[in-house]
A and B are shown apart, each in its own frame.
Chain A
Amino acid sequence: MFAYIIKRLLWLIPVVIGVSLILFGIMQLVPGNPAAIMLGTNATPAAIKALNEKFGFNEPFHIRYFLMLKNFITGELDSIYYGDEVINIISNRLIPTIELGLLSLIIAVLVAIPTGVIAAVKKNSLFDLISMFIATIGISVPAFFTGIIFIYIFSVYFPFFPSSGYGGRIWTLSGLRHLVLPAFALSTVMIASTSRITRSSMLDIMKEDYLVTARSKGVAEKVIILKHAFRNALIPIITNIGNQLAMMFGGAILIESVFAWPGVGRLAVSAVEARDQPLVFGSILILSILFVLVNLLVDIIYVFINPQISYK
């Protein structure tokens, strides 16, 4: 197991190199020059040239790539737009992003899994129909729309929560109050997909012969569902949650914009708009490392759920 984790972590090296090469290549193909965008309407050719010189954009491709990768690894990569170290900027944003992601994960798991299990056990009941209908709506309605509706109901009409912004760390009251609405809005999509997967995965398992055997042995229905069926149904559910969580870290851009949340997603978008190459490079690389780590975590959780799975 330990060897496996080390091996997986070592795999990060080729992943980082691959991602960084693709990323750097794409950034070269994207039209637009950071100096021209930064200087905007005041740009003179001389000023653009000077700025390009300052940021080393006049060097050949491979030299710039290695320079950027080296600076990324040593933490010296400097953002053009923010005039600060990329690592500082990202770590400032990463905490709000992780707080938002984790809270909506917890909400989603607490709501979606019981819903999915009950819907599967009571297949075709009223509860099943209604919950799956709501889940379909949840998948179809974009999260930013849900977000705006939430703000209108819970902050303008009934002023329970602040409409937007970051209120501090999650353990402070203000931080938690600011976090509630975006977390619920973000969790809707995850609730919808997780409850549907839970339901279908449970239904598959419930057809298995060993459950019939267990029933004929006289095992209580509760134990059959929770211990035998649910545990075996968990693998696809966990996989789905892992993917969703990893996407949340980078992909909550719309929710971040609606709630003016200072997260990594918005940062990456504004970095692209400003053609801030070092910041794009740094933030996407960090997000992809996070993605790999979350997936590794999911693989480790498999072992605990199903002892038949083992890694060598």
Chain B
Amino acid sequence: MKNKFLVLLLVSLFMVSVFSAVQAQEKVTEEFVMGIEDEVSNLDPGETTISVNERVASLIFDGLVRYGKANKIVPGIAKDWTISENEMEYTFELREGVLFHNGQELTAEDVEYTYQRILNPEYGSGLRAKIESIKSIEVIDDYTIKFTLNEPYAPFMLGMTFGIIPKEYAEKIGNEELGRNPIGTGPFKLEEWSPGNQIVLSAYQDYWDKVPNIKKLVIRSIPESATQAMELRSGGIDFGVNLDVGQLESFRNNPDFKVKTAAGAGINFLGFNFDMAPTNERKFREAVLQAVPFDQMIPQIFGILGERAYSMLPPTLWPEEREYLKENAVGFDPEAAAQKFEELKAAGVIPEDYVARVYVSNSRPNQVKTAEAMVTALNQAGLRAEVKAMEFGTMWDMLGRGEIGMFFLRFVSDPDPDYWLYRFFKSDGSLNRAFYENDQVDQWLEKARSISNQAEREDLYQKVLRKVLIEDLVFHPLAHSNQIYVMQDEVQELNPGNSLIIPLVTPTANVYKE
């Protein structure tokens, strides 16, 4: 009897030690719940121009290449690639044995189908603009595919991050259905989707790269920042991305939570219309910038949500030009501003009854606050001004029609200067809302995208930035938005950095809970 008891004790002790040893080593996390700020509407990777859709789809789909450390392009489904001498032929070598969530193997046919679908103008994909330079796609064998371009296009590789869809499945169920029942090769597969409420994903056990530590991932859409904060406190979510300044402070001082920030979630800037008087006068633009103490306002208004910007490009992106731009930026000088406004009024450039209207989207509280402070400063300097805070869709429409003289915008894009500058400053750029036209800038921008010599490209973008931000004052950068993650203290390896993905399983991280 005594023996039996001893054996039982020993066995149970042994079991406990084995069990705890296993637990200490394994990082498997049964369930991980995260909150996102918006509702996911569609998970078709060809239609994900809406930020939350894009981020969630990035968990389900894989591209040929992906972003690694410091947003460098690293191999994804393609294990290697070669670029021809003339920079117009890209040949990708795919990994063998990459399986879609339905068990089918991914081949070059699927890659071709994915890109042809986006290229088809009738499909109307917002991603098409990024790969328009493709002339033809050629499947060489099951694991080799070649893209031929019309002309050299340096940022082409960023378009190779698009999620690859299974051709057979997509053709069978159609585009609409694909957006609701997505099948990719990514680290997670879709389990359940309760619209407007939550999306449940599970780790894909046959994933070609490291299988996620998180077994079940619940993504909940929680639009109210205050609610997300309370969900974090009550333990309802492990990770949230949508908190504003006031709540962040209380999390920072709380040892139960981690707050991590990283720059590069977008640029907030002030823009001027070159087709409209008096914003088309350089003297007027300079006076406006001199009248407003942006250097003091921005840190107070944005707090840890952003840092003062002097360049249009995020701090993580080349070329390193911030010092020059900072030193030569128009500084705060209210007397000079007042004098300029005086002179402009006398010269009739500013009409008698002129009221400067600063347009801002009411869904961006920090921009609204900045605009309000700016208007106060302008009034003090002798220019009558007012804030027009309006719903974004309406403002966007007015901007497109050139009815707005001064505006605040926020923009975010992929890590290549071409994506950030070409569309704003090229005469026929798709987002040239300043209606800015300059032949030389056009030439620089055109050339910089067609060559791949890094030093030369850096030089060209440097010239563009100096010209448009310092010499011509087209835009005035205000703040780089920070990406802010708040998580429970036990969450490990989760770091912000790229606002286009949710970095749960990346080349450098595999998130788990302790």
Q: Give me the interface of A with B, judged by CB distance under 8 Å.
A: 30-33, 35-47, 50-51, 54, 78, 81-84, 89, 92-93, 96, 148, 151-152, 155-156, 159, 162-166, 257-260, 262-263, 266-267, 270, 273-275
B401-428 interface mask toward A, CB cutoff 8 Å, 1 = contact, 0 = none? 0000000000111000000000100000
B453-494 interface mask toward A, CB cutoff 8 Å, 1 = contact, 0 = none? 000000000000000000000000000000000000000000
Contact A47 B126 (CB under 8 A): yes
- Distance to closest chain A CB from B115 (angstroms): 16
Pairs A-B, 3 closest by C-beta atoms: A262-B196, A32-B393, A51-B124
- Distance to closest chain A CB from B184 (angstroms): 17
In the complex, B50 has a CB within 8 A of chain A: yes
A89 to B41, CA, bound (A): 10
Residues of chain B lying within 8 A (CB to CB) of residue A45: 430
The count of residues in chain B whose C-beta lies closer than 8 Å to any C-beta of chain A is 52
- Distance to closest chain A CB from B237 (angstroms): 9
- Distance to closest chain B CB from A50 (angstroms): 5
In the complex, B268 has a CB within 8 A of chain A: no
A148 to B196, CA, bound (A): 20
Interface segment, one of B2-10, B225-233, B343-351: B225-233
A155 to B126, CA, bound (A): 41
Question: Contact partner of B49 among A42, A163, A165, A270, CB < 8 A?
Answer: A42
Contact B180 A84 (CB under 8 A): yes
Residues of chain B lying within 8 A (CB to CB) of residue A47: 121, 124-126, 128-129
Beyond the given A38-B50, A274-B393, please list 14 additional residue pairs across the A-B interface where CB-CB is below 8 A: A31-B397, A37-B393, A43-B431, A50-B124, A82-B42, A93-B196, A164-B220, A164-B227, A166-B197, A260-B197, A260-B220, A260-B222, A266-B39, A267-B196
A256 to B463, CA, bound (A): 50
- Distance to closest chain B CB from A293 (angstroms): 23
Residues of chain A lying within 8 A (CB to CB) of residue B130: 42
Pairs across A and B, CB under 8 Å, 20 listed: A30-B393, A31-B393, A36-B400, A41-B411, A42-B126, A42-B430, A46-B121, A78-B176, A82-B42, A83-B47, A83-B180, A156-B230, A163-B227, A164-B231, A165-B220, A166-B198, A258-B226, A260-B197, A262-B195, A273-B393
A89 to B129, CA, bound (A): 30
> Known interface pairs A42-B129, A93-B195. Does A83 touch B179 (Cβ–Cβ under 8 Å)?
yes
Residues of chain B lying within 8 A (CB to CB) of residue A162: 234, 236
A312 to B236, CA, bound (A): 55
Specify the chain A residue showing the minimal Cβ separation from B35. A260
Contact B233 A156 (CB under 8 A): yes
- Distance to closest chain A CB from B383 (angstroms): 27
In the complex, B398 has a CB within 8 A of chain A: yes
Contact B396 A36 (CB under 8 A): yes
Residues of chain B lying within 8 A (CB to CB) of residue A259: 227
Residues of chain B lying within 8 A (CB to CB) of residue A44: 128-129, 430
A107 to B100, CA, bound (A): 49
Q: Give me the interface of B with A, judged by CB distance under 8 Å.
A: 39, 41-42, 44, 47, 49-50, 121-122, 124-130, 175-176, 179-180, 194-198, 220-224, 226-227, 230-231, 233-236, 391-394, 396-398, 400, 411-413, 423, 430-431
Residues of chain A lying within 8 A (CB to CB) of residue B233: 156
Contact B226 A270 (CB under 8 A): no
Specify the chain B residue showing the minimal Cβ separation from A161. B234
- The interface residues of chain A, by DSSP majority, are classed as helix
Specify the chain A residue showing the minimal Cβ separation from B231. A163
A266 to B103, CA, bound (A): 37
Specify the chain B residue showing the minimal Cβ separation from A264. B196
Question: Contact partner of A31 among B124, B222, B394, CB < 8 A?
Answer: B394
Residues of chain B lying within 8 A (CB to CB) of residue A155: 230, 234, 236
A186 to B21, CA, bound (A): 50
Contact B126 A165 (CB under 8 A): no
Contact B231 A83 (CB under 8 A): no
Contact A156 B176 (CB under 8 A): no
A239 to B464, CA, bound (A): 67
A166 to B394, CA, bound (A): 32
- Distance to closest chain A CB from B342 (angstroms): 36
A256 to B347, CA, bound (A): 55
A156 to B393, CA, bound (A): 36
A92 to B226, CA, bound (A): 26
Specify the chain B residue showing the minimal Cβ separation from A155. B234
Contact A40 B227 (CB under 8 A): no
- Distance to closest chain A CB from B174 (angstroms): 10
- Distance to closest chain B CB from A131 (angstroms): 30
A273 to B396, CA, bound (A): 12
Question: Contact partner of B127 among A35, A42, A258, CB < 8 A?
Answer: A42
Question: Contact partner of B423 among A38, A41, A274, CB < 8 A?
Answer: A41
> Known interface pairs A31-B393, A163-B234. Does A43 touch B126 (Cβ–Cβ under 8 Å)?
yes
> Known interface pairs A32-B397, A83-B176, A84-B176. Does A260 touch B223 (Cβ–Cβ under 8 Å)?
yes
A39 to B50, CA, bound (A): 8
Specify the chain A residue showing the minimal Cβ separation from B178. A83
A162 to B236, CA, bound (A): 7
Residues of chain A lying within 8 A (CB to CB) of residue B122: 50, 54
Residues of chain A lying within 8 A (CB to CB) of residue B430: 42-45
A151 to B234, CA, bound (A): 9
Residues of chain A lying within 8 A (CB to CB) of residue B180: 83-84
Contact B394 A30 (CB under 8 A): yes
Residues of chain A lying within 8 A (CB to CB) of residue B127: 42
Contact A165 B223 (CB under 8 A): no
> Known interface pairs A47-B128, A257-B224, A258-B226. Does A40 touch B50 (Cβ–Cβ under 8 Å)?
yes
- Distance to closest chain A CB from B415 (angstroms): 15
A35 to B127, CA, bound (A): 13
- Distance to closest chain B CB from A262 (angstroms): 3
A40 to B176, CA, bound (A): 20
Residues of chain B lying within 8 A (CB to CB) of residue A38: 49-50, 126
Specify the chain B residue showing the minimal Cβ separation from A30. B394
Contact B126 A40 (CB under 8 A): yes
Residues of chain B lying within 8 A (CB to CB) of residue A274: 393
A204 to B393, CA, bound (A): 50
Residues of chain B lying within 8 A (CB to CB) of residue A39: 49, 126
> Known interface pairs A31-B397, A155-B234, A156-B234. Does A41 touch B431 (Cβ–Cβ under 8 Å)?
yes
Residues of chain B lying within 8 A (CB to CB) of residue A262: 39, 194-197
- Distance to closest chain B CB from A208 (angstroms): 48
Residues of chain A lying within 8 A (CB to CB) of residue B41: 81-83
Contact A92 B195 (CB under 8 A): yes
- Distance to closest chain A CB from B274 (angstroms): 19
A158 to B451, CA, bound (A): 62
A165 to B236, CA, bound (A): 10
- Distance to closest chain B CB from A160 (angstroms): 10
A159 to B396, CA, bound (A): 43
Residues of chain B lying within 8 A (CB to CB) of residue A78: 176
Contact B411 A165 (CB under 8 A): no
A44 to B126, CA, bound (A): 8
